[in-house]
Structure 1
Amino acid sequence: MALYAAYSANIVVLLQAPSDSIRNLPQLTGAKITLAANDVDYNYFVFNQSMDPLHLSVRDRIFPESGKPKVYSLADGVERIRKGLFALHSVAEPVYRQIEATFLESEKCDISIVDYLVTFDSFTPVRKGSPYLELIRVVHKQIRESGIQSAIRKRYLVSKPHCTTKMSSFSSVGLLDMRPVLILMLYGVAISVTIMMGEIVVHKLINRHKRISKVKMMKTLR
């Protein structure tokens, strides 16, 4: 029972601790989680643009050659993310908005974001040697320093949900989680019973040998 209690306590601690083991695309492709995509038109084209091995690996897991594509609606996909071991490819802002509406505060700590397309910030194209280059540079700095850019971003874009606590919500431990220790306990019981039976047999053989020896000694004395 002490082994069972210690093992279950360790599992609970591991389940409650937020994990940051998936931060990039190689780690995502190597993780044993379900990969899926939001059921929108652009996702059917995005995954066919790159011939990179990592991108192809993700595409084959989401759109297998044999079987149904793993595409879900936004609400269904976010709910599967909340249950764990699930990754959904989608535009970030709608997912963030759905997470804010459905996730508990403690569940937001388990969210990891991986940039699949390796996007970059937009730029303002200007002709080389243009007299407007310095003017645009100064205006962009003024917009950023005055807070206008961040205000517009907060108004139209939803930021990543903030994690207010470092501890995840409580997770119960079922029999499947305890399978290794239960198997170990069964092996221990089986070995103990085998040793006990062996000791009983050996004890009986020793007693029988002693009785036979006594009988022989008595016959010899007579």
Structure 2
Amino acid sequence: MNCNHKSNFLSTIEEKYFAHPYRWIIADADNDSIQNLALLPGSNIVLVNQDTNSDQYVLKQGYKDPKTGQITGMSGRLQRKEADIGATVIFMTSDRIEYLEYLSMAFSTEFAFILRSPPISYVSNIYYLPFTGVVWICSILLVILCTLVIALTLKFHVMPDEGTENMTTSDYILFAVSSICQMGSEYLTKVLSTRISMFAFFIALLFVYTSYTANIVALLQSTTKSIQTISDLQNPAIRVGVDDTPYSRHYFKMENEPTRKLFYGTKIAPPGKPDAFMNISYGVSRMRDGMFAFHVETPQAYREIEKTFFEHEKCGLVEIKFFAMSDIWCVIQKHSPYKEILKANIMKIREHGIQLRERSRVYKSRPKCDSDGKNFGSVRLIDCYAALLILVYGFLISFFVFCAEKFLKSKFKHICTSKLEMYREQLTSPE
């Protein structure tokens, strides 16, 4: 904004403090949360009533070009002394200290990947989780022991029993499986000892079955806490997005840590494919659908979440930090004569609570989860994945056994026919 002539800005500060005519106030016009918020907390309250007749803007904070060494954006104008005051906050970096004067920290903010915790069935087999390994082993031993006891009582009973006298090993295995599934058995016995053993066996399995199904119901409504690191986000099932801001594009590209560099090259900006940069509203809407991690300034994301999410959808939000961002500061030209004036006024703003009030109005904290466990979702197809696998593998094994039986039967029939023909020829041939 052009301030060559006297303006409301000059009326705020006595004109005698200015050693030379004020030339430019460079404001960042990018449509992102930090840039637009810079003037809201009142960090540069001396700029609030400035003249607005000009439309002169610089569109970026500015970064140093590694090839040319030129500094772009607002930082470049301050470094080249084309501007005296930066009217927006900026991140503190080691290279900027050489040519910028940092006045005061505006406020603290955080950046992270935010995602809704996926259901446990997305990362684990929920049909195994209800029991610990020891309980599974004890349950299997219980079934084996009870089946053996029932088999022994049937084998060595005194009185004849027509209903079970022809039971084979496969029949006992099928009996054990059907008992586990609460299906009962087609075999009826009149042996009292066997009936008592079967009754105790069925009662024990009833309690095991009840405990198992109760845990399954709870697990179907639960979310996993296993996704906590950047390496976990490498899971192909999890899609990612990044808030499309100049500083996000810059800092993601400059990341050199091997894991994060690989993550950037495979998930955010893969070669030959569209990048994952998007605006906040679209990123949060995709995050709401699940299995999507969105990197954004967390308070701004939570403000959008408060407006668009249902209460139960606000539960189970996970934050994963990608890199440590510095706090944002108010800056001016190096060795500027306005340093003490602006610094004193910024401190007044902070002491009077204006900055805190504006920050609390614009920045939202993490939404509270008031309905955790109160909402019941429908069973998804992925929740039945293990059961479908058992069904498919069972049919495949059955088909292969069927083919083997057919093959062996035809082979055996051919052998029997050949031997029969050979014997017949031997009998009919003259001696």
Measured in 2, the distance between the counterparts of 1:216 and 1:52 equals: 84
Question: Which position in structure 2 is the counterpart of 1:35?
Answer: 240
- Would you say the 8 A contact 1:35–1:58 is kept in 2? no
Where do 1:1-222 residues align within 5 Å?
10=127, 16-28=221-233, 30-32=234-236, 33-60=238-265, 61-119=267-325, 155-163=361-369, 164-166=371-373, 169-173=377-381, 177=385, 180-181=389-390, 183-205=392-414, 207-208=416-417, 211-212=420-421, 215=424, 219=428
**What is the CA-CA distance between 1:183 and the residue it aligns to?**
4.7
What are the Cα deviations for residues 135-168 of structure 1, in whole angstroms up to 9, with x where unaligned?
A: xxxxx9xx9xxxxx8x987654322233432587
Q: Residue type of the partner of 2:259?
A: L
Contact 2:288 2:309 in 1 (8 A): yes
Q: When the two structures are superposed, what TM-score results if normalisation uses the length of structure 2?
A: 0.36
Q: Deviation per CA, 1:111-150, whole angstroms, max 9, x where unpaired?
A: 210122335789xxxxxxxxxxxxxxxxx9xx9xxxxx8x
CA contact (8 A) 1:96 1:160 kept: yes
- 1:41 and 1:171 map into 2 onto residues whose CA distance is 42
Return the alpha-carbon distance in structure 2 between the equivalents of residues 208 and 171 of structure 1. 56
Residue ranges of structure 1 left out of the alignment (5+ in a row): 1-7, 123-139, 144-148
Conservation of the 8 A alpha-carbon contact between 1:18 and 1:109 = no
TM-score by structure 1 length? Answer: 0.62
**Which is higher, the Rg of structure 1 or of structure 2?**
2
| Identity of matched residues, % | 22
Contact kept, 8 Å, 2:243 with 2:278, in 1: the verdict is yes
Q: CA deviation at 1:37?
A: 0.5
**Aligned-partner residue type, residue 35 of structure 1:** V
Q: Which has the higher helix share?
A: 1
Task: With a CA cutoff of 8 Å and minimum separation of 6, indicate the structure with the bigger relative contact order.
Answer: 1
Contact 1:109 1:168 in 2 (8 A): no
Q: For residues 49-101 of structure 1, what are the alpha-carbon distances to aligned partners after superposition, in whole Å with 9 as ceiling and x for unaligned? A: 43222332333231234322111222221122122222111111222122233
AA in 2 matched with 1:173: L
* 2:240 counterpart SS class: strand
Structure 2: segments with no counterpart, 5+ residues: 1-124, 129-215, 329-350
Count of residues paired in the alignment = 189
Cα distance between partner residues in 2 of 1:21 and 1:92: 21
SS in 1 for 2:377: coil
